[in-house]
C-alpha cells in the first residue's frame, strides 16, 4: 500500500448488501438494500477501501450474464460469489437448518435419511464446499495487506481456509447470532471442526458478554484449550475474543423521519388510529421472534383491561422468511390463528385490535410507523441483538414512546435501562408490561427515552465497525483459565453469607454519656472512622457522578481531634489515595487508602502497606468488564485504584442496576478473576474487586504496625472508638479489638510487619495496646444486624458524636481555650 492510500478491507458475508434488478439483456440496476446490516458502516467504508464479497441473492448460470452482473456490482464495490447448485444445501440445509437452531438453543432437527440431499453429512459437505467457493473469490481479489472480515455462522470454515492459504492474512470473524451454552452446542456433530476453524481467525467478535463467555467455555470443554480474559489460547497462539454490540445508522432514521413523504405518512397513520394507542411489532416470521407469545400477552391484556379494548391497536409487521420450511409454516399458521381469535373476541366491524401483515414494508413507511407508535413490543425468545429496538428509539425523538424488550434479546443488556424488560414466556408479565407502558407518566417516558436515545446515537454501526477493526491487544500476558462453575460459586457465596449472618447480631443502643466520660478519662485514644457514608456530606441522588466531600459540619471538629496530642485519628477507606488526599490534605490525620494497602501519616507521606508477593495481573481484565457495563448502565461509574476497582450503580435505575450487577458478577467469575487472588464484594449499589483478604479487619494490624514505626508511642492505646457505614465483609474490623482476640491478632500482624520491614522484634513496644473491654466502642451506622457492639441511626449522629468528643477533654481545653471558646471556634470553622 502506497503512502496516503486507504487500507483495503474485504467484508465477506453470505449476502451482498445490494438489491439487483435485471433491466435488459446483460444489464442490471443496483441499489443498496434498505436496513441491511453491512451497509450501515458508513464511517468505516470512508476510512477503508472496502469491497463486499457475497452471494448476489439469486442464481446465475450463464457465463455472459455472470460477467455482466459482476461488472455492475463492481460499481457498488461488490464482488459476487455464484453458489448456484450448492446454495440450497449450504444455506437452507446446513447453515439455517442445523447451525442456526443450535445457536438459538433450539437443538438439532431430526435427520432425514430418506433423502440423500437432506442428510447431515451431505449438507455439511455442501457447507464446506460453499465456504471454499467464498475462499476462491477472496483469493482472486486479495492484495497483500488486506484485512478480511468474515460475517456470521454461514462462514465458519472460511477463517481456517484463509489461514491455510496464507497464514499472514489478517482475519476477523463476527457472529451476529447468539452463541449457546456448551451443553447445547456439543450436540452438533461437527462441533470441534467448526470451533477450530473460527479459532484460526485473529479476532472474534460477539454482541454480548454472555455469547462470548459461552463461546470460550465451549472451546475449553470441547477442545481442551486454554481460556483467558483476552480470548482462547491453543498451543501458544492467542485468538482474541471481544464484545462489541452492533448499532444502526441513527442519523439516517432521524433524517428520514423529517422527509415530507414520511411526515405525510405519519399524519395518515395518526388519522387512521385517531383516539387509539398504537403498539407496534416488527419481526421476521420465524420461531425465535416470539410473535405467538406477543399475541398471547396482548390477548391477556385485553381480557384483564376491558376499558382498553377500543383504545389500543397492535400493528404487527411479520416479514416472511422461509415459507417452504414446515417449521416456519407451523409458526405462520399458529400466528394467523391467534390473530383471528383475538379479533373475533375483541373486535367489531369498525374496529380490529390486531392489524397483522405478512410482508415487509418500505423503509420510509417503516420509519413512519416507528415514529407514530406509542409502544414497541419485542418478545424474542432468543435474539443476537435485535436492531429493531434501536431503530424505534432513533425515530421516537418527538413522541418518546416506550420500548418493551425481551430479556432474551441481546439489546436488553444495552437498552434495558430505558426499556421495560420482560420474560416473553410469562404471558402475565407481558400483559402487565403493556399496561405499564400505556399508562406511563410523560416524565418517566421522556427520561427512559433520553437514556436509550443517548446510547443509540453513541453506539452506532459506524462505531461498531471501527472498534472491531481498530481492536488490538493491550498486553501479552495471559491470565488463568476462563472457565468457572458459576453455580457452585453462587452456592458457596450463599452458604458463606448464611454463616456470616449467624455471627452478626442486633447491636445495642450506644451509651453516649459513658462513651464520652471514658474518652475524657483515657490517656491515648484511637479513633478509626470509615469515609463514604460516615464522614461524607449528604448525597444528592440526582448527581450523575459521585463527588465525595467531607461533611462541612465536621471540618472544625475533625481538626480539633487531629490536633489533640492524646488522640490519633485514622480514616480507613476503600477509596483511592487521590480522593483521600483531596479531602483530608489539610488535616494531621492517618489515612489508609484502599483498605489499608496505602498508608499516609500525619505529615502527608504515603507508604505502600501491601502484603508481599501480591499479584495484580487481574486488574486490566476487570477494568475492561467494568468499562463495558458502565457504558451500558446510564449514571453508573467505576473507580480504579492501585489494588482495587469499584463499580457503582447507586444513581442508575434500581432494578436495572441490580440486574446489570448480577450479570457483571457472572462475567467476572467466568473471566478475568476465575482463578485470581481477589475478593469480590457485592454492596447494595456496587461491585468491588480487590486483592484477596484486604478487608478493614485484615488491614488494621499492619496499619498499627506501621504507626509504631512512624511515631514514638510512649503511652499505650487505652481507648478505641471505631465506627463506619461498612460493607458486611469489612465488619471484621469491629471484632479485631475485642479483648479476647486482640493479643494474638496484633502480635501476629506486628510480627509480620516487622519481618517484612527487616525490623527486630525488640523495636516494637510490647505496650502498644492496653485496652479494657469497657473502653472499646464499636459503632455501626444504621445497621439492624452487625458485628459492632453498638448502633447509631445516621451520619448526622456521627457528626454530633465527634463534636462531643472534641470538647470532652477538659484537661486539653484548660491548656488551650475555654469550653465556650472551643464551641465558638468549632462553629466558626464549620461555617467556613
Average pLDDT estimate for 489-493: 29
pLDDT of amino acid 48: 84
Give the residue-averaged pLDDT of 713-720.
84
> pLDDT band at residue 319, thresholds of 50, 70 and 90?
very high
Whole-angstrom CA distances from 367 to 253, 257, 404, 434 are 7, 6, 18, 22
Q: Give CA–CA dist 534/548, Å, rounded.
A: 11
Q: Which of 2-11, 145-154, 317-326, 569-578 has the lowest mean pLDDT?
A: 2-11
Strand partners, 757: none
Residue 91, domain member (yes or no): no
Note whether 358 and 340 are same-domain residues: yes
Query: Which of 171-185, 300-314, 720-734 has the lowest average pLDDT?
Result: 720-734
327-366 tens-digit pLDDT: 888 999 999 999 999 999 999 988 999 999 999 899 999 9
Residues 312 and 283 in one domain: yes
391 and 258 in a single domain? The answer is yes
Indicate if 325 and 441 belong to the same structural domain: yes
Q: Is residue 364 in some structural domain?
A: yes
Q: How high is the pLDDT of residue 767?
A: 61
Per the structure block, which three cell numbers stand in for 106?
Answer: 433450539
Please report the pLDDT score of residue 412 as a whole number: 87
Residue 765 has pLDDT above 70, yes or no: no
Start-to-end C-alpha separation, the chain: 65
Q: 70 or 538, which is more confident?
A: 70
**CA 350, 355, 359, 364 torsion-angle sign:** positive
Q: Which residue has the cell 456496587?
A: 686
CA distances from 487 to 150, 214, 662, 678 (A): 34, 14, 13, 19
pLDDT at residue 683, rounded to an integer: 75
Q: Does 215 share its domain with 173?
A: yes
Q: Count of CB atoms within 10 A of residue 84's CB?
A: 14
Band of residue 20 on the pLDDT scale cut at 50, 70, 90: confident
DSSP 651: T
Rounded to whole angstroms, the Cα distance separating 360 from 252 reads 19
Q: How far is 439 from 435, CA to CA, in rounded Å?
A: 6
Q: What is the pLDDT of residues 675-709, one digit of tens each?
A: 777 878 777 788 888 876 566 776 787 788 777 77
Q: Tell whether 297 and 444 lie within a shared domain.
A: yes
Percent of the chain with pLDDT over 90: 44
Q: Which of 300-309, 504-513, 532-541, 750-759 has the highest mean pLDDT?
A: 300-309
Q: What is the pTM of this model?
A: 0.65
Q: For the segment 545-581, what is each residue's pLDDT rounded down to a tens digit? A: 356 788 888 889 999 999 998 999 999 887 888 889 9
- Pairing between strand 525-529 and 508-509? unpaired
**What is the grid cell recorded at 69?**
452482473
Task: Mark whether 673 and 577 lie in a shared domain.
Answer: no
Residue 75, pLDDT > 50, answer yes
**pLDDT score recorded for residue 482:** 27
Report the C-alpha gap between 404 and 419 in whole angstroms: 6
Picking from 226, 689, 202, 203, the residue whose alpha carbon sits closest to that of residue 479 is 226
List the grid coordinates of 611.
Answer: 502484603
537-542 CB contacts, 8 Å cutoff, 24+ apart: 538/795, 541/650, 541/651, 542/651
pLDDT of residue 756: 35
What average pLDDT does this structure show over 225-254? 86
Q: Is residue 486, in this structure, part of any structural domain at all? A: no
For residue 226, what is the domain's CATH number? 3.40.50.2000
Rg (CA), the chain: 33
Angle at 294 between CA 288 and CA 295, to 5 degrees: 125
Q: Do 606 and 621 form a contact (C-beta atoms < 8 A)?
A: no
Domain that holds residue 540: 508-597+700-726+758-811
pLDDT at 139: 97
Residue 481 lies in a domain: no
In terms of pLDDT, which residue wins out, 740 or 683?
Answer: 683
Whether the predicted pLDDT of 582 surpasses 70: yes
Q: Cβ atoms within 10 A of the Cβ of 370, count?
A: 25
- Better pLDDT: 443 or 697: 443
Strand order in the sheet with 420-422: 354-357, 312-319, 277-284, 375-378, 402-406, 420-422
| Residue 739, pLDDT above cutoff 70 | no
What is the per-residue pLDDT across 84-93, written as a single tens digit (0 to 9) for each? 899 999 999 9
C-alpha cell at 614: 501480591
The DSSP secondary-structure symbol of 48 reads: S
Confidence at residue 306, expressed as pLDDT on a 0 to 100 scale: 95
Q: Which of 205-209, 376-380, 687-691, 752-756 holds the top average pLDDT?
A: 376-380
User: Given phi > 0 = left and psi -120 to 50 = alpha, else beta, which region is 34?
Assistant: beta
Which CATH number does the domain housing residue 669 bear? Answer: 3.90.1070.10
Q: Three-class SS of residue 60? A: coil
Query: Residues 783-831: pLDDT tens digits?
Result: 777 888 999 988 889 899 999 999 887 444 444 444 455 455 445 444 4
Contact by Cβ (8 Å): 561, 548: no
Q: Are residues 682 and 767 in the same domain?
A: no
> Could you read off the pLDDT of 48-71 as tens digits, one per residue?
889 999 999 888 888 888 998 999
For residue 233, is it within any domain?
A: yes
What does the pLDDT average to over 588-606?
87
Q: Which of 797, 765, 788, 802 is nearest to 587 (CA)?
A: 802
Quick one: pLDDT band at residue 468, thresholds 50, 70, 90? confident
Contacts for 62 with CB less than 8 Å, ≥ 6 apart: none
Task: In whole angstroms, give the CA distance from residue 104 to residue 179.
Answer: 7
Shared domain for 706 and 773, answered yes or no, is yes
Q: Indicate whether 424 and 356 sit together in one domain.
A: yes
Report d(CA 58, CA 83) in Å as an integer: 9
Look at residue 178 and tell me if it is in a domain: yes
Which pLDDT score is estimated for 829?
A: 43
How many helical (H) and strand (E) elements, i.e. helices and strands, does the chain have? Answer: 31, 30
10 sits in the region (left: phi over 0; alpha: psi -120 to 50; else beta) called beta
Residue 43's pLDDT is what? 53
pLDDT grade, residue 378 (50/70/90)? Answer: very high
Domain identity same for 254 and 239: no
Cα separation, 242 vs 226, whole angstroms: 16
Q: How far is CA 497 from the centre of its chain?
A: 25
* pLDDT recorded at residue 471: 62
The predicted structure's pLDDT at residue 474: 31
* Measured CA distances, 669 to 211, 628, 677 (Å): 15, 15, 12
How confident is the model at residue 324, as a pLDDT?
72
Q: Is residue 413 part of a domain?
A: yes
Q: What is the mean pLDDT of the chain?
A: 82
pLDDT above 50: residue 655: yes
Which residue would you say has higher pLDDT here, 410 or 828?
410
Task: Give pLDDT, residue 1.
Answer: 54
pLDDT score of 359:
92
Provide the β-strand partners of residue 409: 383
From the list 19, 424, 104, the residue with the least C-alpha distance to 286 is: 104
Tell me, what's the pLDDT at 37? 54
* Within a domain: 612: no
pLDDT of residue 416: 87
Q: Are residues 220 and 323 in the same domain?
A: no
Residue 740 pLDDT > 70:
no
724 and 530 Cβ atoms separated by less than 8 Å: yes
Is 70 exceeded by the pLDDT of residue 499?
A: no
Structure confidence by residue, pLDDT tens digits, 602-628 = 888 888 877 666 778 888 889 988 988
Domain count, the chain: 4
Q: What is the pLDDT of residues 135-158, one digit of tens each?
A: 999 999 999 999 999 999 999 999
The number of angstroms, rounded, from the C-alpha of 7 to the middle of its chain's C-alpha atoms is 32
pLDDT value at position 748?
Answer: 42
Q: In this structure, what CATH number is given to the domain that contains residue 788?
A: 3.40.50.1000
Cell numbers 510490647 correspond to 766
Amino acid at each position: 500500500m502506497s503512502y496516503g492510500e486507504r487500507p483495503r478491507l474485504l467484508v465477506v458475508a453470505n449476502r451482498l448488501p445490494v438489491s439487483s434488478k435485471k433491466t435488459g439483456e446483460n444489464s442490471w440496476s443496483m441499489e443498496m438494500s434498505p436496513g441491511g446490516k453491512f451497509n450501515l458502516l458508513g464511517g468505516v467504508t470512508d476510512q477503508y477501501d472496502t469491497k463486499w464479497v457475497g452471494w448476489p441473492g439469486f442464481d446465475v448460470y450463464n457465463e455472459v450474464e455472470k460477467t455482466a452482473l459482476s461488472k455492475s456490482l463492481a460499481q457498488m464495490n461488490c464482488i459476487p460469489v455464484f453458489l448456484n447448485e450448492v446454495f440450497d444445501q449450504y444455506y437452507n440445509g446446513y447453515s439455517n437448518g442445523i447451525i442456526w437452531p443450535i445457536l438459538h438453543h433450539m437443538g438439532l432437527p431430526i435427520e432425514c435419511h430418506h433423502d440423500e440431499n437432506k442428510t447431515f453429512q451431505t449438507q455439511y459437505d455442501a457447507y464446506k464446499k460453499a465456504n471454499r467457493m467464498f475462499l476462491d473469490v477472496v483469493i482472486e481479489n486479495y492484495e497483500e495487506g488486506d484485512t478480511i472480515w468474515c460475517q456470521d455462522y454461514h462462514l465458519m470454515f472460511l477463517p481456517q481456509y484463509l489461514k491455510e492459504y496464507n497464514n499472514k492474512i489478517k482475519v476477523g470473524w463476527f457472529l451476529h447470532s447468539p452463541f449457546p451454552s456448551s451443553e447445547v452446542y456439543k450436540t452438533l456433530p461437527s462441533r470441534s471442526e467448526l470451533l477450530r476453524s473460527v479459532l484460526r481467525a485473529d479476532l472474534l467478535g460477539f454482541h454480548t458478554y454472555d455469547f462470548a463467555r459461552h463461546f470460550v467455555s465451549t472451546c475449553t470443554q470441547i477442545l481442551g484449550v486454554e481460556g483467558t480474559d483476552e480470548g482462547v489460547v491453543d498451543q501458544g497462539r492467542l485468538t482474541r475474543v471481544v464484545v462489541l454490540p452492533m448499532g444502526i445508522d441513527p442519523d439516517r432514521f432521524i433524517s428520514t423521519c423529517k422527509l415530507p413523504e414520511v411526515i405525510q405518512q405519519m399524519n395518515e397513520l395518526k388519522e387512521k388510529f385517531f383516539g387509539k394507542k398504537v403498539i407496534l411489532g416488527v419481526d421476521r416470521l420465524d420461531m425465535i421472534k416470539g410473535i405467538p407469545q406477543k399475541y398471547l400477552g396482548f390477548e391477556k391484556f385485553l381480557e384483564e383491561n376491558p376499558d382498553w379494548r377500543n383504545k389500543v391497536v397492535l400493528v404487527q409487521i411479520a416479514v416472511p422468511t422461509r415459507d417452504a420450511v414446515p417449521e416456519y409454516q407451523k409458526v405462520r399458521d399458529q400466528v394467523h390463528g391467534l390473530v383471528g381469535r383475538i379479533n373475533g373476541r375483541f373486535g367489531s366491524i369498525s374496529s380490529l385490535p390486531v392489524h397483522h401483515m405478512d410482508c415487509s414494508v418500505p423503509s420510509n413507511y417503516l420509519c413512519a410507523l416507528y415514529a407514530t407508535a406509542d409502544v414497541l413490543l419485542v418478545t424474542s425468545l432468543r435474539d443476537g441483538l435485535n436492531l429493531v429496538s434501536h431503530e424505534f428509539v432513533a425515530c421516537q425523538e418527538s413522541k418518546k414512546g416506550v420500548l418493551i424488550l425481551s430479556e432474551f434479546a441481546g439489546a436488553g443488556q444495552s437498552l434495558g435501562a430505558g426499556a421495560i424488560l420482560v420474560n416473553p414466556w410469562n404471558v402475565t408479565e407481558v400483559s402487565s408490561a403493556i399496561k405499564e407502558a400505556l399508562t406511563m407518566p410523560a416524565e418517566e417516558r421522556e427520561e427512559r427515552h433520553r437514556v436509550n436515545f443517548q446510547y443509540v446515537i453513541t453506539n452506532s454501526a459506524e462505531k461498531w465497525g471501527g472498534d472491531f477493526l481498530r481492536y488490538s491487544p493491550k498486553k501479552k500476558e495471559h491470565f488463568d483459565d476462563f472457565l468457572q462453575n458459576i453455580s457452585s460459586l453462587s452456592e458457596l457465596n450463599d452458604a458463606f453469607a448464611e454463616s456470616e449472618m449467624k455471627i452478626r447480631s442486633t447491636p445495642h443502643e450506644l451509651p453516649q454519656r459513658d462513651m464520652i466520660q471514658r474518652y475524657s478519662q483515657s490517656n491515648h485514644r484511637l479513633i478509626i472512622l470509615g469515609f463514604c457514608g460516615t464522614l461524607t456530606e449528604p448525597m444528592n441522588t440526582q448527581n450523575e457522578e459521585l463527588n465525595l466531600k467531607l461533611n462541612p459540619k465536621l471540618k472544625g471538629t475533625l481538626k480539633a481531634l487531629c490536633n489533640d496530642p492524646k488522640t490519633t485519628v485514622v480514616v480507613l477507606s476503600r477509596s483511592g489515595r487521590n480522593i483521600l488526599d483531596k479531602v483530608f490534605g489539610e488535616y494531621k490525620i492517618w489515612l489508609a487508602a484502599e483498605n489499608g494497602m496505602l498508608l499516609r501519616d500525619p505529615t502527608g507521606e504515603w507508604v505502600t502497606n501491601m502484603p508481599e508477593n501480591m499479584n495484580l495481573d487481574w486488574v486490566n481484565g476487570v477494568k475492561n468488564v467494568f468499562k463495558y457495563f458502565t457504558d451500558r448502565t446510564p449514571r453508573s461509574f467505576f473507580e480504579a485504584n492501585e489494588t482495587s476497582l469499584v463499580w457503582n450503580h447507586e444513581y442508575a435505575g434500581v432494578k436495572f442496576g441490580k440486574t446489570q450487577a448480577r450479570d457483571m458478577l457472572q462475567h467476572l467469575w467466568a473471566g478475568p478473576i476465575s482463578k485470581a487472588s481477589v475478593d469480590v464484594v457485592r454492596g447494595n449499589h456496587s461491585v468491588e474487586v480487590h486483592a484477596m483478604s484486604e478487608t478493614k479487619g485484615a488491614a488494621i494490624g499492619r496499619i498499627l504496625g506501621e504507626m509504631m514505626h512512624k511515631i514514638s508511642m510512649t503511652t499505650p492505646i487505652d481507648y478505641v472508638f471505631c465506627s463506619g457505614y461498612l460493607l458486611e465483609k469489612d465488619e471484621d474490623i469491629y471484632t479485631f479489638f475485642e479483648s479476647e482476640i486482640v493479643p494474638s491478632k496484633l502480635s501476629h500482624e506486628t510480627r509480620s510487619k516487622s519481618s517484612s520491614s527487616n525490623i527486630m522484634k525488640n523495636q516494637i513496644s510490647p505496650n502498644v495496646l492496653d485496652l479494657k473491654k469497657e473502653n472499646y466502642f464499636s459503632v455501626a451506622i444504621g445497621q439492624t444486624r452487625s458485628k459492632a457492639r453498638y448502633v447509631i441511626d445516621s451520619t448526622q449522629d456521627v457528626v454530633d458524636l465527634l463534636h462531643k468528643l472534641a470538647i470532652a477533654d477538659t484537661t486539653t481545653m484548660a491548656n488551650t481555650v475555654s469550653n465556650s471558646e472551643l464551641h465558638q471556634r468549632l462553629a466558626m470553622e464549620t461555617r467556613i
